[in-house]
Amino acid sequence: MKAYRKNQAKVIALRTTSAIAILVGIFATSTAHAQTSNQSAAAQPTSAATSPEAILVETVTVTAGQSIGGGNMIVQRQPETTNSVTAAAISEKASTIGPLQLIQNLPGVDTTQTDSFGMSQRSNLYLRGLPSTEQGWIVDGAPAVDQLFFLPYSEAWFDAENLAGLTVIPGSSRITDPVQTAIGGEIIATIRNPTDEFGSAGSVSIGSYDAKRVFARIDTGLIANTGFKAFASGSYTVAGGFGLPGTGNKTHADLKVQNDWTDNATSSLFVSFTNWQSDRPNVLTPAQFATELSTGNFNTFNPQATYAPFPQPAGSQPYWKIFRYERKTLMASWNNEFKLGDRLTLNIDPYFHWFGSNSPGQSSINPASIFNGNTQVTPNTTGLTLVNGLVQVAANSVANQHAAGITASGKYDVTDSNQLLVGWWHDNWGGTMVNSFSPLAQNGGAADNWGKSPLLTTAGQVIAGTNFRIHSDIDTFSIQDTQSFFDNRLKIEAGVKYYLERIDGNNQVPGPQTYYSQNISRALPRATISYDFNPNMQVYADVVTSIRPGITGNTYPNTYNVTTGKISQLGAPNTPPELSTGEEVGFRYHDDDLTVDLAGFNKLVRNRQVISALTVNGAGVSTTVNAGTESIQGFTAELASRPFFGITPYVNGQYLHAEVESNFLASNGDFLPTKGKTAIASPEFTANAGLNYNNGPFFGDVLFKYTSSQYPTLMNDAIQPGYHTIDIALGYHLPSFFGEESSTIKLNLTNVEDKPYLGQVAGSGGNAVATTGVNGTTIAPGVNPSYFIGAPFSAVVTLSTEF
C-alpha cells in the first residue's frame, strides 16, 4: 500500500510537471510571436459569435441585453445545444427554491418539486433520459458533485439572489471543465460579481407549510485604492413539507472577493457554507399514493410526529426526528485569469470542498444476533434502554468527503483565425462512509445527530455493516484547435481529452474484502462545426465522447447485513466505466421579433451501469452491473417572441426516444428480454409554455409544464401517468420611501391546480411482475416501483429591498 502511494505521488508529480511544461511552452511561443506579429487579436473582425448578443459559454457570461422570454431564454452561439436562465428570470421566482426548480422549465429538463422551498432533499433531474448522477455540476468554475454518490445536493450551493445565471448543456460538456460524471450533460452556475459601489440588499419571505426565510447581503464596493471589492450574504430558512409533521431548516452564507489587478489580470474567490437539516418524505408506490388520495391523509406513509419503539405494527412509520437528513458543506473556488500579451490567456483555478452528511433511519437490534461485517459480536448494552429485549437505535449513514483540485488552461491565438486551447485538471478526493448505530433514549432521542456515540462491542469496536475509506486521483489533459474561415463565419473545432483516474480504498469491517482499486484511462475525442449565415442565423453540428466511472459508494466496497453477517452489497471494482458518443445538429435564428433554437440529437451509451439485485451463495445482494447499451434520439425546440404590450410568450418542447439495446441480467442468472424496450424515466414528450409580463412597476409570469407518461422498469411492465403543473408569479416594484434604490413585493404560487401527483421516479428496476426470461426461467418481480410525490399548491410572499 505504501509503495503504491509512493508510485502514485511520482505519477502525479510527473503529470503536474508535464502540464506546467506545456503551459510554459505556449507562453514562450506566444512571447516570441508577439514580438514578430504586426496584427493583434483586438483587430480581428467582429462576428456573430463575438457580438454583444452572444453568450460566451466558455465563461457563461449572461448580460441583460441577451434576456429573451422574460429571461427564460438567451441568444446562444456555441456549437452545442445550450439553454440558460438569467438573473432576471431568477429574480421573479420564489427566493426559497433551489437550482433544480430554477431550471425545471428549460427544454427537456425532467424534475419534480417535492416541496416549494428546496428543503426536502427529495429531488432528482433527468436530461434526455439520463439522471443527475450522469450530469456534470459546476459552481463558479469548480466541481460541485458529491463524489461518493454522484448526486448534486444543489440546494446547498448558494442563495438564488447571488446567481448571475444558470446554464444547461444537455448533450455534452465543455472540454476543459472539471467533470467526471457528464455523460448526460452539464449544469453550470455562475455567481454574480461584487459591485463597484457600496450597496446592500435584503428580503423576508413567508409561505405555506410554515415557511419563513430571511436574506441579507452587503457589497463593499471598491475598497480604497486596493482594487478589491466583495460581497457577503447570509440566509436562514425554515420550512415544512407536504405531509410532514416537522420543519427543516437551512443556514447558508456566501462570500465573493474580486480584484481586477490590471486590465489583463483578474482574480475572484467564492466561498459558500451550508448547515442543512432536511425533513424527508418517504417515496410512495402507486398503491400507497392511491390510498392517500382516497383518504385525503398524505401523512400516512411519512415519518410520524410521535416516537414509538421498533418493531412497530405493520404500516407504522418511523419517528420524524430520527429520520432527518443532515448536511454541512464548505465550498471554495479561486478563479484567476491572466492575459499574457495579445494572444495568450491563462486561467488557473484552484478549488476545495468538504461535505459531511448523515442520512439516518429508525431501527432496532437483537443483541443475540448482531454482526460487525461478517463477524458476530457482542454489543455493550450497559446503560441502554431495551424494549422487548431489543436495542432501539438510529441507523446512521455518516459520510465525510473532501476534495482539493486545480484546473488550468491556456488559450493561444496562433493566427487571427486559429486558436489553440490546452487544459489540465487534477482532483484529489477522499471519502469515508460508516453505517453505525446510535442508541436511543426512552423519548427517541440520540446523543447526537452525527453518530459520534455509536453502539460498540464489548471490545470497544464500532458495530457497522458499512465502514470504508475510499480515495481517487483524477487527471485530465485536453487540447483543442479552432480554425475559422470566411471572416469567422465558419468555425471548425477538433479536440481530445485524455481521462485518467485511480480509485482505491480499504474496507474497515471484517470480511474477505480489505482493499479494492481500479485504474481508468480513456481518450475522448470531439469535434464541432458551426456556420453563421449572418448575425441572425446559425447552424451547427457536433460529436462528443464522454466517460463516467461507477458511482463510488455503490460500486467498490462490500457492505454487510448487521443482523445476518451476509453481504448486502457486493463490491464490483472491475465494472467498466460508462462511455458515450453523442451527436447533435442545430439551427438558431434571432431578430428583434423572434428567437428560435432547434436541435436534433443522437447518443449511444455503452456499459450502462445500474444497481441491481443478484443472488450470491443463495443470498440476495445488490451490486453494480453492466446493463449493456442504451440509445437515445430526439428533438428539442425553444422559441420566444418580442414583448406585445408588455407580454412576452415563451415555449419549448422535447421529443425523446430512449431505447434499451441489451437484455438485462436478472437475479436468478437468466436475462430479462429488455432489448427494444423504452429506457427508464424517459418520457416521450415534455413541454413548457409561459407568458411573462413586465410593464412599468408590475411584473409576473405564468409557466405551464407537461411531462408525458414514463416507465419505472426496463421491462415497461409498470407505467407512471403523465402530469402537468402550472406556476404563477406576480410582483410589484414599490415606490421609494426611505431612500432605497428599489423595493419589490412578489407572490409565487406553485401547482395552482392543487393536484398531488407522482413525480420523479425514485425506485426503479428490471421488472415489476413475474417474467419469463430469455432462457425460459420465471424471473420474480425485482422491484415495486416508487416515486417522489409532487407537492400540491403552495404560496410564498417575498418583500425585498436594495439600498
pLDDT recorded at residue 268: 97
Q: Is the pLDDT of residue 65 over 50?
A: no
| Distance between CA atoms of residues 150 and 166, nearest Å | 20
C-alpha cell recorded at residue 159: 442563495
Average pLDDT over residues 686-693: 95
Q: Is residue 503 part of a domain?
A: no
Do 24 and 102 lie in one domain? The reply is no
DSSP state string for 306-372 = S--PSSPPTT---BTTTS-EEEEEEEEEEEEEEEETTTEEEEEEEEEEEEEEE--EEEEE-TTS-EE
pLDDT confidence tier of residue 616, bands split at 50, 70 and 90:
low
Q: Is the pLDDT of residue 615 over 70?
A: no
pLDDT in tens, 500-519: 999 999 999 999 999 999 99
| Distance between CA atoms of residues 395 and 318, nearest Å | 12
User: Regarding beta strands 742-750 and 515-534, do their DSSP bridges make them parallel or antiparallel, or are they unpaired?
Assistant: unpaired
pLDDT recorded at residue 659: 96
CB atoms within 10 A of CB 534: 9
Do 70 and 99 lie in one domain? The reply is yes
Do 5 and 102 lie in one domain? The reply is no
The answer to whether 186 and 177 have CB atoms below 8 angstroms apart is: yes
With H, G, I as helix, E, B as strand and everything else as coil, classify residue 296: coil
Q: Is the pLDDT of residue 589 over 50?
A: yes
DSSP state string for 407-461 = EEEEEEEEETTEEEEEEEEEEEEEEEEE--EEEB-TTS-BS-SSSSS--BBTTSP
C-alpha cell recorded at residue 444: 427517541
Q: How many separate domains does the chain show?
A: 2
pLDDT recorded at residue 67: 61
Residue percentage of the chain with pLDDT more than 90: 71
pLDDT recorded at residue 760: 84
Q: Is the pLDDT of residue 252 over 90?
A: yes
Do 13 and 79 lie in one domain? The reply is no
Q: Is residue 238 part of a domain?
A: yes
pLDDT in tens, 535-567: 999 999 999 999 999 999 999 999 999 999 999
Do 592 and 451 lie in one domain? The reply is yes
Average pLDDT over residues 398-426: 97
Do 176 and 31 lie in one domain? The reply is no
Do 74 and 11 lie in one domain? The reply is no
Please give the C-alpha separations between residue 594 and each of 334, 627, 703, in angstroms, as whole numbers.
39, 44, 19
Do 1 and 149 lie in one domain? The reply is no
Q: Is residue 423 part of a domain?
A: yes
| Distance between CA atoms of residues 612 and 616, nearest Å | 12
Q: How many helices (H) and strands (E) does the chain have?
A: 5, 48
| Distance between CA atoms of residues 23 and 473, nearest Å | 21
Q: Is the pLDDT of residue 625 over 90?
A: no
The answer to whether 179 and 188 have CB atoms below 8 angstroms apart is: no
pLDDT recorded at residue 315: 67
pLDDT recorded at residue 792: 87
The answer to whether 624 and 550 have CB atoms below 8 angstroms apart is: yes
Q: Is the pLDDT of residue 62 over 50?
A: no
pLDDT recorded at residue 232: 98
Do 778 and 635 lie in one domain? The reply is yes
Q: Is the pLDDT of residue 316 over 60?
A: yes
Residue percentage of the chain with pLDDT more than 70: 90
pLDDT in tens, 750-793: 999 998 889 888 888 889 999 999 999 999 998 889 888 888 89
pLDDT confidence tier of residue 613, bands split at 50, 70 and 90:
low
Q: Enumerate the β-bridge partners of residue 199.
A: 219
Q: Is the pLDDT of residue 397 over 50?
A: yes
Q: Is residue 653 part of a domain?
A: yes
Do 6 and 137 lie in one domain? The reply is no
Q: Is residue 43 part of a domain?
A: no
pLDDT recorded at residue 115: 80
Do 32 and 167 lie in one domain? The reply is no
Residue type, 729: A
Does pTM top 0.95 for this prediction?
no
With H, G, I as helix, E, B as strand and everything else as coil, classify residue 758: strand
Domain CATH code at residue 256: 2.40.170.20
pLDDT confidence tier of residue 474, bands split at 50, 70 and 90:
very high
Please give the C-alpha separations between residue 734 and each of 2, 90, 269, 730, in angstroms, as whole numbers.
66, 19, 34, 13
pLDDT recorded at residue 58: 42
Which alpha helices (DSSP H) does 669-794 contain, by range? none
Task: Supply the mean pLDDT for the chain.
Answer: 88
Which H/E stretch holds residue 25?
helix 2-36
Do 19 and 142 lie in one domain? The reply is no
Specify the range with the lowest mean pLDDT, choosing from 40-44, 156-160, 552-556, 651-655.
Answer: 40-44
Write b or e for each residue in 442-464: b if 16 or more Cβ atoms lie within 10 A of its Cβ, otherwise e: eebebeebbbeebbbeeeebbbb
Specify the range with the lowest mean pLDDT, choosing from 22-26, 578-582, 620-624.
Answer: 22-26
Range of the structural domain that residue 737 is part of: 50-498+508-802
Select, from the ranges 125-129, 456-460, 527-531, 561-565, the one with the highest average predicted confidence (pLDDT): 527-531
Average pLDDT over residues 257-264: 93
Q: Is the pLDDT of residue 38 over 50?
A: no
Q: Is the pLDDT of residue 189 over 50?
A: yes
If one compares 280 and 166, the residue with the highest pLDDT of the two is 166
pLDDT recorded at residue 55: 37
Q: Is residue 358 part of a domain?
A: yes
The answer to whether 715 and 771 have CB atoms below 8 angstroms apart is: yes
Q: In sequence order, what are the residues at sequence separation of 6 or more whose Cβ sits closer than 8 angstroms to the Cβ of residue 224?
A: none
Closest CA to 723 of 53, 45, 39, 112: 112
User: Regarding beta strands 186-191 and 136-139, do their DSSP bridges make them parallel or antiparallel, or are they unpaired?
Assistant: parallel
Q: Is the pLDDT of residue 12 over 80?
A: no
Q: Is the pLDDT of residue 442 over 80?
A: yes
Specify the range with the lowest mean pLDDT, choosing from 43-57, 436-450, 471-485.
Answer: 43-57
Q: Is residue 45 part of a domain?
A: no
Q: Is residue 273 part of a domain?
A: yes
